[in-house]
Amino acid sequence: MINNRMILYSLFVVSSSTLCFEILATRITSVIFVNHFAFIIISLAILGLSLGAIFAHYYFDKRKPTSLVSSLTKNLIILSISYLVFFLFSSIDAIATNYFLYFATIIIPFFLSGIFYANVFKHFAHISYKIYGADLIGSATGSILAIALITYLNPSNGILAISILLISVALSISISQYNKLYNVISFFITLSLLGFLSLNGQNSILKKIPIGEFAEKDFHFTYPNRNIQKIITDSRWSIYGRADLVEYNHQDVVRHLFIDGAAGTPMLRFDGNLNNQDPILSKLLLESSGFVPLLFLQPNEKNNMLVIGPGGGREILGGLLTGVSNIVGIEINPDFVNVVKDNESFNGGIYSQFPNIKIKIGEGRQYVKRSKENYDIIFMSLPSTQQLQSIDNFALSENHLLTVEAIEDYLNNLTDEGRLIFTMHNTWELKRLIVTIIKAFEKTGLNANNIFDHMIIFESEYAPSIIVQKKPYSREQIGNRFQLMNTLIEEAPDLTYVPYFWDILKNTT
């Protein structure tokens, strides 16, 4: 006979592991599939738990009475095995990227948990209030445990850890009526296995979780030539997702950082020498629509710059090479910052070796709102990911960093000579941003009658950039920019809008 304490402990662990598995599976699913597929897991969890309870009600009522100890022990062992199956299958490309097989392996653990809950509530109804409390406390613990497992292990190793924990509980139930020494031995075996996982850290025991080949995954489409080999040299898990550093077999000038295989941000090779620039590096920067506007600035217009979401550091490097005196980067994902710092031999230590560059961890808009400093340049280059380039789904969707109120905050933190630089995903987002900027100018009290005299736009199709100056451009300023554009390489982005002379441009937006 199982005592009440043992059943409450068992239910606590099952509830904790079930919610923990749900969160860990969500993170894994975001890597394999498109991120919104992860929300299917919530539906599968509810469905699986419900089906398990229904199955237990009809199946166990028709069977002959069996030992409760045996029934619950088998239930927990099979549940533990189902976690192991998912742990194995999620690292096999052919299974992990198959919708039916992958989501089938996810629903099974919830189904088995539903059976366990139904049996416990049926046989221990007299302490249902305690069972309910153990369930709630276990679920709360599981949500916290999931964050710890993602951070210190990784989601796959975390699922292996909860599988080991469940086997330990199953053994505890089965031997609870015997010598307590068996429980002690079981405890130390479990502790040893979990200790091994802790020492292993985020190193994958099996293959890395594969990145599904979907249009939204920039990892597969950075270069059009599919024969180019992509090598993941560093992977780090966090609550933000899996950050991957990718190198390529055909060149060693550009590496990319991805989050869950999407939102690629480049890290450029730089030797740290500001006086002798690599011509290849210069060419790569001059092809960027966000870099060229920095060349237009006079010394008094680039005392300081704030970069929101610097990622791999291209915009930081651009500011450094064009003579910006002080640069602050606000990056929400600490893994990106740490990867760039750990690869200073490749990138010249742009995040760690230059005293005029400070990289801070935080959310960009909140930082601007709280900052008391005014900047000559506020730069935001949005990650170029195809999942944000869908006109239907995203061009008209809200973006926390680009609302009217956000633009107001940015304008209020500019110096009188300051400007905003935004690199967008596509022309649809650019048009939406222009409307937002007009509204922000009106709300901040700035003159919006000649709003287009404050703007310059580069490129028209891929990654257009818009420069919004707090004061309107003068004809002299625009003339100087035309002269500079004539000296740049042919691959440099085209001017698609300037005040006063836009009708003479070859390619207008």
Say whether 358 sits in a helix, a strand or coil.
strand
Q: What's the rounded Cα separation, in Å, for the pair 19 and 470?
A: 50
d(CA 186, CA 407): 59
Q: Which domains does the chain have, with CATH numbers?
A: 4-200 (1.20.1250), 218-263 (no CATH), 270-504 (3.40.50.150)
| pLDDT confidence of residue 465 | 92
Residue 386 has a pLDDT of: 41
Q: In degrees to the nearest 10, what's the CA dihedral of 357, 362, 363, 368?
A: -50
Going through 459-497 in order, the beta strands assigned E by DSSP cover 465-469, 495-497
Among 392, 452, 454, which residue's Cα sits nearest to residue 426?
392
Residue 465 DSSP class = E
Q: How many CA atoms lie within 13 A of 415 on its CB side?
A: 13
The angle, 0 to 180 degrees and rounded to 10, between the axes of the packed helices 68-89 and 99-123 is 160
39 DSSP 8-state letter: G
pLDDT value, residue 346: 95
Largest CA-CA distance found in the chain, in angstroms, rounded: 93
Confidence at residue 182, expressed as pLDDT on a 0 to 100 scale = 52
Angle (CA) 380 301 290, round 5°: 30
Q: What is the mean pLDDT of each run of 10 residues along the chain (509 residues)?
A: 78 93 93 82 94 87 63 88 92 87 94 93 87 93 93 90 85 63 60 68 78 85 84 91 92 93 91 86 88 90 94 94 95 94 95 95 91 94 51 47 90 93 87 90 75 86 87 87 80 84 61
Which two tokens mark 157? Answer: 């190793």
- Going across the sheet that includes 414-423, the strands are 357-361, 326-331, 304-308, 375-381, 414-423, 465-469, 455-458, 495-497
pLDDT at 192: 67
CA 348/CA 355 separation, integer angstroms: 13
Fill in the amino acid letter for 356: N
Record the tokens describing residue 47, joined without a space: 């469905």
The Cα–Cα gap between 50 and 157 comes to 27
Prediction pTM value: 0.86
DSSP state of 365: H
Q: What is the 3-state secondary structure (H, E, C) of 381-430?
A: ECCECHHHCCHHHHCCCCCHHHCHHHHHHHHHCEEEEEEEEEECCCHHHH
Q: For position 188, what pLDDT does the model report?
A: 63
